[in-house]
Amino acid sequence: MSSTEPSVPAVSAVSAVPPAAPAVDAIAERRRRADLIRAELGGADAVARLRERGERTIREHLDGFLDEGSFDELGTFAHSMRHEDRDSTPGDGKIGGFGRVDGRPVAVGGDDITVKRGSTAVVGSRKIDRLLGMAIDRGFPFVYFGQTGGARVPDIMSAEGFAELSSMMEIAQRNHRVPVATAIVGQSFGASSFTAAMSDFVVQVRGSCLAVTSPRVVEVATGERITFDELGGVDVHATRTGMIDLAVDSDDEAYAAIRRFLSYLPSNAWSPAPRSPAEGCGPIEEDPELPALVPTARTRAYDMRRVLARIADPDSLFELRPGMGRGLWTGFARIDGRPVALMASNPMFNAGTLDPAACEKGIRLLVLCDAFNIPVIFLQDVPGFLVGRQVEHNRLLYRAIRFYEALLLCSAPVISIVVRKAFGLAWQSLGGLPGMVDGLYAWPGAEIGFMDPAVGVNVLYGDRLSAEEKAARAAEMAAVTSPYGAAGVLHIDEIIEPAATRAVLARDLERLASRPVPPLEQRPLRTWPTC
């Protein structure tokens, strides 16, 4: 944390009437107060207790996240509006300001749990509201470190106090003009949980809790006893709710994850995404080993992540929500240095089918790409949507159509490649829409059709045919799913050699880089909710 203060300006020797110098005692007092606030926060004892538990203060979180020495604080001398609390609430439970990440400006804020458990009250809320508003107006990403105990009682019990808590309005109305990321680094209830739910990227540290309210409130209200981990721990959100994009084991990993997330995005919706230097991009040439990673038999499983690693620049894959909807890999990468979003079927999980969670992942990523003009690349090896009572009752129809609608509305460049198979509505939901995407390709041997021929035969004939007859009919159906049929009527732009996939994508991305970027009002998905 930078504590350097400006020196007293020297009086010019040529001034006819030297200006009055600031009172030395006043400057010294300001420095004394600032140093005390920054060193002791809500009290030396509270800081010591944090250290004994192996936890960091909010100022240490900000220092660990930002470029060294780049933090400029806003509201150092803020405190509670309640007269009796003014001397014991430095910052009023919230710390924030501006800094840099990899040299790029960002706005940052977070909960100070040494001050009334980081609870949210009037002045602290004003501070975060001010920071976020300035970030949006100036085009800076906003990053928050959440661990609040919730709204402060009795400060917000009155109508006047409660009506002041308005910082969520700025986030809810930002329409993705700037990226927002949240790290949950402790027990988080209320305002910081709401901020997380409206963020573009959420990382949660193992041992923390993300929930609307605390286990104690749950017990008082319902009689249910529940632990922090059961209510809102990492495993709950990483595999069940989808409220986080990444789970990590340490604060340092959380800082690195947010820094990496921001590296793929522009600082705001009207700026271009940064391109990596050419020397780190890897060669753009044919890859003869790539085709061997994909078995020719449509039912044989393989790990699509190995394919993605060869198509993308070295070490550039960044997966989002890896524990949810695992039949669809989603995340960021770079190709020839250009940031892209990838969505790829992964036959290692549920045969690569799309389920409700996969659709939600896809929607969330499309919204982000529409807002920040990030190209989207689909790699298809999809047998269709997962079927069954459980997924139907989990609103598969709603989520599938929302995913399809999001793709149709997405203004970002879209490229889709059928690697092995693409059946049913899933083919269209993953970019199989001639005229609606910027490039539609297939590998030789790929299959495109209404459903898997073997499944179609069973649905059509049931037990009326022998196994041999079914196999023969399935082979007949398979013969008409060849990509050459679609290419023949120009429903596919080109059938490409698998080894050339990276080169084809790099060339397309280079051409698309010069396309006119739609103005904000012509990017409809940026107004969609983030969760």
Higher pLDDT, 335 or 480: 335
Q: What is the structure's pLDDT at 9?
A: 44
pLDDT interval class at 380 (50, 70, 90): very high
**Does 331 share its domain with 426?**
yes
Q: What is the structure's pLDDT at 62?
A: 97
Q: What is the structure's pLDDT at 42?
A: 82
Bridge partners (DSSP) of residue 184 are 146, 204
**Does 253 share its domain with 285?**
no
**Does 162 share its domain with 306?**
no
Enter the pTM of the model. Answer: 0.90
Is residue 325 within 8 Å of 365, Cβ to Cβ?
Answer: no
Q: What is the structure's pLDDT at 1?
A: 44
Query: Mean pLDDT lowest for which of 36-45, 441-450, 466-475?
Result: 466-475
Higher pLDDT, 481 or 508: 508
Query: How does DSSP assign 351-409, residue by residue?
Result: GG-B-HHHHHHHHHHHHHHHHHT--EEEEEEE--B--SHHHHHTTHHHHHHHHHHHHHH
Encoded tokens for 42: 């809500």
Question: Tokens 């019990």 map to which residue?
Answer: 157
Q: Is residue 192, in this structure, part of any structural domain at all?
A: yes
Q: What is the structure's pLDDT at 15?
A: 44
> What residues contact residue 16 under an 8 Å CB cut-off, 6+ apart?
none
Give, for 26, the enclosing helix (H) or strand (E).
helix 24-40
Q: Is residue 3, in this structure, part of any structural domain at all?
A: no
Higher pLDDT, 271 or 465: 271
Q: Is residue 463, in this structure, part of any structural domain at all?
A: no
At 36-89, the pLDDT tens digits run 888 888 888 988 998 899 999 999 999 999 999 999 999 888 888 888 888 888
Average pLDDT over residues 303-312: 97
Q: Is residue 153, in this structure, part of any structural domain at all?
A: yes
**Does 189 share its domain with 309?**
no
At 227-260, the pLDDT tens digits run 999 999 999 999 999 999 999 999 999 999 999 9
Query: Mean pLDDT lowest for which of 146-150, 283-287, 306-310, 399-403?
Result: 146-150
**Alpha-carbon gap, residue 142 to 99, rounded angstroms:** 10
> What residues contact residue 340 under an 8 Å CB cut-off, 6+ apart?
312, 332, 333, 334, 374, 375, 376, 377, 509
**Does 394 share its domain with 353?**
yes
**Does 292 share its domain with 392?**
yes
Q: Is residue 323, in this structure, part of any structural domain at all?
A: yes
Is residue 155 within 8 Å of 193, Cβ to Cβ?
Answer: no
Q: Which of 207, 232, 263 is the last residue of a domain?
A: 263
Average pLDDT, the chain: 89
pLDDT interval class at 302 (50, 70, 90): very high
**For residue 445, what is the domain's CATH number?**
3.90.226.10
Q: Which of 263, 286, 319 is the last residue of a domain?
A: 263
Encoded tokens for 423: 């059946």
Average pLDDT over residues 478-483: 75
Q: Is residue 460, in this structure, part of any structural domain at all?
A: no
Higher pLDDT, 66 or 113: 66
Average pLDDT over residues 289-307: 94
Q: What is the structure's pLDDT at 3?
A: 43
Categorise residue 417: left if φ over 0, alpha if ψ from -120 to 50, beta otherwise.
beta
By residue range, what is the domain housing residue 259?
Answer: 24-263
Q: Is residue 80, in this structure, part of any structural domain at all?
A: yes
Q: What is the structure's pLDDT at 5?
A: 42
Structural domains counted in the chain: 2
**Does 318 share its domain with 182?**
no
% of the chain surpassing 70 pLDDT: 89
Q: What is the structure's pLDDT at 4?
A: 43
**Does 162 share its domain with 305?**
no
State the pairing for strand pair 246-248/328-335. Answer: unpaired
**Does 295 share its domain with 239?**
no
**Does 256 share its domain with 282?**
no
Q: What is the structure's pLDDT at 166?
A: 56
Give, for 334, the enclosing helix (H) or strand (E).
strand 328-335
Which of 100, 76, 205 lies closest to 146, judged by CA? 205
Average pLDDT over residues 115-126: 84
% of the chain surpassing 90 pLDDT: 64
pLDDT at 291 over 60: yes
**Does 245 share its domain with 339?**
no
Query: Mean pLDDT lowest for which of 78-87, 159-168, 437-446?
Result: 159-168
**Does 252 share its domain with 283?**
no
Q: Which of 207, 235, 263 is the last residue of a domain?
A: 263
**Alpha-carbon gap, residue 401 to 499, rounded angstroms:** 34
Q: What is the structure's pLDDT at 490?
A: 84
Q: Is residue 473, in this structure, part of any structural domain at all?
A: no
Q: What is the structure's pLDDT at 413?
A: 96
Q: What is the structure's pLDDT at 103?
A: 97
Encoded tokens for 481: 């799913």
